[in-house]
Each structure stands twice: as structure tokens, then as C-alpha cells.
Amino acid sequence: MLCQHALILLPLFVATLELAIPFFPKTSGLIYLSLVTFIFIVAPKRCAIGDWRKILPSALISALGAVATFALANHLDLGPLVASAIVGLVGTFFLAEDDQLKIYLGAFVGMTSVARFPSLGLVVVAGLVGGVLWQVLNETWNGVGGRLGTIAAAAVLVVVLTLGGGL
Amino acid sequence: MSVLLAMSLGLLWGFAGHTLRKRTKLSVVAVSSWLTLVAALVLPRFFHEGYLFALICTAVSYVVMSSSNRLEKLWETLVVCLICTLLVYFGQDVLVGIGGRLGTLAALSALIFIVPKVHFGLLKARRR
């Protein structure tokens, strides 16, 4: 359970770093290195996934939401707020309640700016990571508003820290 | 003045979200999406800082996705909406461009309220 909390706290941790790093710039590289080490070495060993069969559908739905939102926001110039709302609303018409949450999670991932994700490939990867994290963190912070956004931010940060984009 | 307006709008959106959740059969995603859509379409047309207000109301729409176990009463929802409004207003430079930023701030404001509430609830239960 401690591992799940550590993962979901990742965005809050990075936000704190963003505020604090100007005060100790020399150690920032070391902090990010330890963060990436945690994500790829410690987290997969410690975090148990409830049901592996649910991973793929969850990841695909989340990636779909991310790509749709990113495309609506940037290619149709609707902006991230309107785009995510449209994706969420369309999801409510066609999907069951649990899947609505997954596509809305993907929509949050797709709200990332072009400056962070210059290519659509990164959006797809972040969407897939979001779907996987949804399964890993399913019972964590249950019923807390903003949980989906926090998981989405964790997915985006994992991709930005490892594949590029930078903080 | 601007922060007072932001707080008023945050409370209004929180009240609307709470009412929609209690009085309609809309799913949490539908409630949040409608609140976000209205905020994003309406507020930038009426206010100079409309986009910031739309961000605040969107974050508040994520707060109202909290389950009724976590935020039972209207006043609890409104307090968390107020905390969320202030966090988004004064935390505009945090996690810029990262998807889920508003949700993270919404979760943070919910936890600021919920964690002490659960803690003091447990303390009361022990005393009994």
C-alpha cells in the first residue's frame, strides 16, 4: 500500500521540487535520478496489480481519451478545457461508469501542452501508462475528488521524466 | 478583488456540482464535464481573467467528484472548493503544461480537509 501512495504522490512531489529547486540547483539532477530509479526499479517490484486481464482494456481506453483530447485541443484549437469536457461527455453516452472514469483519466493526460508533448506518440504512451496506473492505484485515495487528475499527472510525469519533454 | 471574484465563482460552481450530484442521476464524469464545459465557454467571454476563472471552476468540478462518504455535507464540499480555488489561484506556476495539474490541486485540497477529518474522527471514536 505504501508503494501505491508513493506513486500517486509523485505529482505532488514534483510540484514541491519545482518550487524548491531554485534554492538548491546542484542536487536537482540527483533528485530526478532517484525519482526515475524509484519509478522503474522499486515501484514494479513493490506495487501489486490486482487483475492483469484488466490492464490492456484500461490502457487502451485511457490512450483513446488522451489522443482524442489532445487532437481536439491542439488540432481543432478548442483548448484543453473544452476538449476534455467533450471527451468526458461523449464517454458518458457510450461507456459504462467504470470505463467513463478511464476515458476521463485519458482526457486529463491529453490536456498536456504541446510544449511538454511535441509528438502524438508521447501522448499515446502517457495515455497507456495512465491506464496501467489506474489499475495499480485503483483502491488508493478512493472517493477523493481529483484522484483521476493526480493519476494522469503521475503518468505524464513518468513519460516526461523518462522519454523527454523535460520539466 | 480578483481573488474575491474567483472565490465566489468557485463556491458557485461547487454548489452547482453538489446540487447536480444530489438531485440528478448524472454520473460523476457527466457532472464534471458539464461544469467544465460551461466554465470554459462562458467565463472567458465575461471576465478579463476569464480563463483563470475557468481553470478554477474546472478544478472545483473535480472536487465535486468526491464520494459522499468523503464529503458528506454541502458545507464540507464548499470548504474544499474554497481551498481548491485558493490553491489554483496562487499556484499558477506549479506543474505548468502537465495534464492532470488541476486534478492534482483538487486532490490536494480534498486531502487537506479529509485527512484531519478522518484523524479527528478516529480520535473521537477512541475516546468513546
- Give me the pLDDT at residue A126, please: 93
Instruction: Report H helices in chain B.
Output: 2-23, 28-46, 50-63, 74-90, 101-127
A92 backbone dihedrals φ, ψ, rounded to 5°: -70, -25
Tens digit of pLDDT per residue, chain A (167 long)?
566 666 677 777 766 666 566 655 555 556 666 666 666 566 655 666 666 778 889 999 999 999 999 999 999 989 999 999 999 999 999 999 989 999 999 999 999 999 989 989 999 999 999 998 888 887 777 888 889 999 999 899 888 877 765 55
Domain count, chain B: 1
CB A92 within 8 A of CB B65: no
The answer to whether residue B126 sits within a structural domain is no
Residue numbers of A between 83 and 102 with CB closer than 8 Å to B: 84-86, 88-89, 91-92, 97, 100-101
The interface predicted TM-score (ipTM) is 0.92
Identify the DSSP state of A42: I
pTM of the model: 0.88
**What's the domain range around B82?**
2-119
Alpha-carbon distance A85 to nearest alpha carbon in chain B (angstroms): 4
Report the chain B residue with the minimal C-alpha distance to residue A116: B97
The answer to whether residue B124 sits within a structural domain is no
Report the chain B residue with the minimal C-alpha distance to residue A12: B104
Residue numbers of B between 47 and 106 with CB closer than 8 Å to A: 54-55, 58-59, 62-67, 69-71, 80, 91, 93-106
Q: Which helix (H) or strand (E) holds A125?
A: helix A120-136
The answer to whether residue B68 sits within a structural domain is yes
Rounded CA separation A44/A41 (Å): 6
Q: Which three cell numbers stand for residue B89?
A: 489561484
Residue spans per domain, chain A: 2-20+27-162
Supply the angle between the helices A80-94 and B28-46 in degrees, to the nearest 10.
150
Q: Do A144 and B107 touch (CB under 8 A)?
A: yes
